[in-house]
């Protein structure tokens, strides 16, 4: 384990051996991922700065950012998390508010586990504190575009509002990795922005906000999400739902 991995382990309040045990490949590979450039350059104020956590880590703030749709979109994911007892579910990237807590509680009811990945140590530490009351959650310091998990490890995978934050090449890798680590017959659930209908009055304000603050998000307005999926994905594997006049989408991919 290199110094960076050791520092991360200590910052999580794990013992180093607990950390290695939770992610066995760390023992063999020094792969603690660096913070990606787009996260550092474009999103430092939202996810990396300690004051960001104080501001954003409230359900009402994330609900406001999603125009009151946070609970509805969370329920849309929970409704599709109908896993068998003792299943493993992956959440790719932390989410502010109660999202992970609701997922963990839902999965605990039938003995299933939630594994949570994030590339930012400060976000993982925050999630550990926030989810301390849940015994069925694991934490992994990994980059979504190069996951360290073996193929087909998870029964379901959830990617909630991550793809719009990533440049196209990273987004494509994240999608491919989410599919790779989900078992055949399992589901990958993507929830993210989408180009709203022309009649949607939020269209114009959101175009300004996203262009200013979240420049990669406009990709998801211009193209449908399947355009960023591997060529091997067939249309019959996909099921789409749209919310709030088309501003949000949920796509379920059956692997
Ligand atoms: C899921 S997204 C946005 C979620 C939503 N907007 C919210 O309310 O939190 C934010 C998270 O993605 C993480 N993230 C961004 N790029 C990542 C990557 N390449 N690998 C893993 N996590 C990543 C950030 O560190 C951050 O914790």
**pLDDT tens digits, one per residue of 32-67:** 899 999 999 999 989 999 889 988 998 898 998 899
Cβ burial, residue 205 (10 Å; 0-12/13-18/19+): exposed
Looking at the predicted structure, is the pLDDT value of residue 24 above 60?
no
Taking a C-beta distance cutoff of 8 angstroms, is the pair 202, 245 a contact?
Answer: yes
Q: Best of 50, 60, 120 to mutate for ligand 1, by most ligand atoms within 8 A of CB?
A: 120
pLDDT, tens only, 219-248: 999 999 999 999 999 999 999 999 999 999
Ligand 1 atom with minimal separation from the 174 CA:
19
Distance (Å) from CA 213 to ligand 1 centroid: 15
Is 220 buried (19+), middle (13-18) or exposed (0-12) by CB count in 10 A? buried
- Best of 38, 47, 159, 173 for a ligand 1 pocket test (most atoms within 8 Å of beta carbon): 47
Strands 182-193 and 154-160: parallel
Whether residue 127 has its Cβ less than 6 Å from ligand 1: no
How far does the centroid of ligand 1 lie from the alpha carbon of residue 166, in Å?
9
71 C-alpha vs ligand 1 centroid, how far in Å?
18
pTM attached to this predicted model: 0.87
């Amino acid at each position: 384990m290199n110094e960076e991995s050791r520092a991360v382990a200590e910052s999580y309040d794990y013992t180093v051996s607990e950390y290695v045990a939770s992610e066995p490949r760390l023992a063999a590979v020094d792969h603690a991922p660096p913070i990606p450039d787009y996260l550092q350059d474009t999103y430092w104020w939202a996810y990396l700065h300690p004051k960001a956590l104080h501001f954003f880590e409230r359900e009402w703030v994330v609900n406001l950012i999603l125009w009151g749709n946070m609970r509805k979109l969370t329920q849309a994911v929970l409704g599709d998390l109908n896993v068998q007892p003792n299943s493993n579910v992956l959440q790719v990237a932390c989410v502010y508010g109660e999202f992970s807590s609701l997922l963990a509680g839902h999965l605990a009811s039938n003995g299933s586990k939630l594994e949570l990945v994030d590339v930012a140590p400060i976000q993982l530490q925050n999630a550990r504190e926030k989810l301390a009351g849940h015994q069925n959650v694991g934490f992994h310091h990994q980059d979504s575009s190069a996951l360290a998990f073996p193929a087909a490890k998870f029964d379901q995978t959830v990617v909630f509002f991550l793809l719009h934050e990533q440049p196209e090449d990273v987004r494509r890798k994240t999608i491919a990795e989410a599919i790779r680590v989900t078992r055949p017959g399992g589901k990958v659930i993507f929830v993210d922005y989408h180009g709203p209908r022309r009649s949607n009055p939020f269209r114009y304000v959101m175009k300004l906000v996203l262009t200013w603050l979240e420049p990669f998000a406009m990709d998801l307005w211009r193209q449908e999400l399947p355009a960023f999926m591997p060529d091997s994905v067939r249309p019959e594997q996909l099921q789409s739902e749209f919310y709030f006049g088309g501003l949000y989408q949920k796509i379920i991919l059956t692997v």
